[in-house]
Amino acid sequence: MSTLDTTGNERRAQISSMKEAGRAALSGQTVAQREKARAARADGWASWWKREMEISNSVDPAELLPEAFARIEQIVEDRIVSAVRQLKSELRKALK
């Protein structure tokens, strides 16, 4: 590996770290809190995947991808609907 490759990789890692710190700040968390929450989500998904594989008697995790993607879409949609409702409520209060 050349020095330029190493320097480029280090720079990309720094940029990634700065972006992650920014995302954490936007969500009102520290980087450590955000990493802990991510680890908890990963554990939750691992449990979900294992449970679904057992229920469906599946040996190939890829078989569950469509269901996992649908679950993600549903979670995102639910959160968007909730955020829109909250925003509408706050706007109504502000306009009174």
pLDDT in tens, 6-62: 788 888 989 988 998 999 899 899 999 999 999 999 999 999 999 999 999 999 999
Q: How far apart are CA 70 and CA 66, in angstroms?
A: 6
Distance linking the first and last C-alpha atoms of the chain: 64
Query: Would you list the domain boundaries of the chain?
Result: 1-58, 60-96
- Indicate if the pLDDT at residue 1 is higher than 80: no
Residue at 5: amino acid letter: D
- pTM for the model stands at 0.68
